[in-house]
Amino acid sequence: MPTPASPATVRDYIRTIVDFPKEGILFRDVTTLFADPRGLRMCIDQMLHPYAGRRIDKVAGLEARGFVIGGAIAHQLSVGFVPIRKKGKLPGATISESYTLEYGEAVMEVHDDAVTPGERVLIVDDLLATGGTAGAGIRLVERLGGVIVGCAFIVDLPDLGGRRVLEGMGHAVTALCAFDGH
């Protein structure tokens, strides 16, 4: 009996869940990508590729799915990992950065000693939508004196404009795939 062909691209591993978390939203679920060993390996390898040969001192992952890929990328690069979390989730001294969401505001935090001045940091997350969360992460790293090497995502939602926001801040953006809509 023939077996179905393996997914050929990272995009093929991502499932879409209709009307989650609310009606009208097409949720791009990367947990199916993470669950498959070939898909996860493909994702990490492809996210690293644009940064081959560049000096990176730390990888900063945005809560929460950015922790999964950020940790794996940091491991591959043999560098440290910096979690950028929602307010109140980190112990010890932190700095905070507010940002706007579609319906309100949120706050991200990082430990105040997570990055030392001059360290070169790669920002990673699963999805780039409006750029609010990533922009807050960038500002936190820069406030600590870090230099952003780039911003790497699995999925870009170009209709929501996040790439333009981050590029407007002067940062290079890479994404493995894009989906229309929101």
> pLDDT tens for residues 35-86?
999 999 999 999 999 999 999 999 999 999 999 999 999 999 999 999 999 9
Q: Is the previous residue joined to 64 through a cis bond, with omega within 30 degrees of 0? A: yes
92: CATH: 3.40.50.2020
Say if 21 falls within a structural domain: no
Say if 14 falls within a structural domain: no
Helix (H, G, I), strand (E, B) or coil at 8: coil
Give the chain's mean pLDDT.
Answer: 94
H helix runs in the chain, sequence order: 10-13, 31-35, 37-48, 65-77, 132-143, 162-168
Say if 6 falls within a structural domain: no
Whole-model pTM above 0.85? yes
> Which residue segment(s) compose the domain that 81 sits in?
43-178
Say if 99 falls within a structural domain: yes
Mean pLDDT (whole number) for 8-37:
95
Positions marked active-site: 65, 102
Distance between terminal CA atoms of the chain? 38
Specify the pLDDT at position 1: 34
Structure-token pair, residue 140:
């936190």
Which residues are registered as beta bridge partners of 123? 60, 151
Q: To the nearest whole percent, how much of the chain has pLDDT over 90?
A: 90
Q: Which run of H or E residues covers position 27? A: strand 26-29
**Structural domain count of the chain:** 1
Question: Is pLDDT above 80 for 28?
Answer: yes
Say if 8 falls within a structural domain: no
Say if 115 falls within a structural domain: yes
Alpha carbon 133 to chain centroid distance?
9
Question: Is pLDDT above 90 for 181?
Answer: no
Q: What's the CA gap between 93 and 90, in Å, rounded?
A: 8
Say if 11 falls within a structural domain: no
Specify the pLDDT at position 120: 98
Q: Residue 57 in contact with residue 149, Cβ under 8 Å?
A: no
Say if 126 falls within a structural domain: yes
Specify the pLDDT at position 114: 98
The conformation of residue 19, written as its DSSP 8-state character, comes to: T
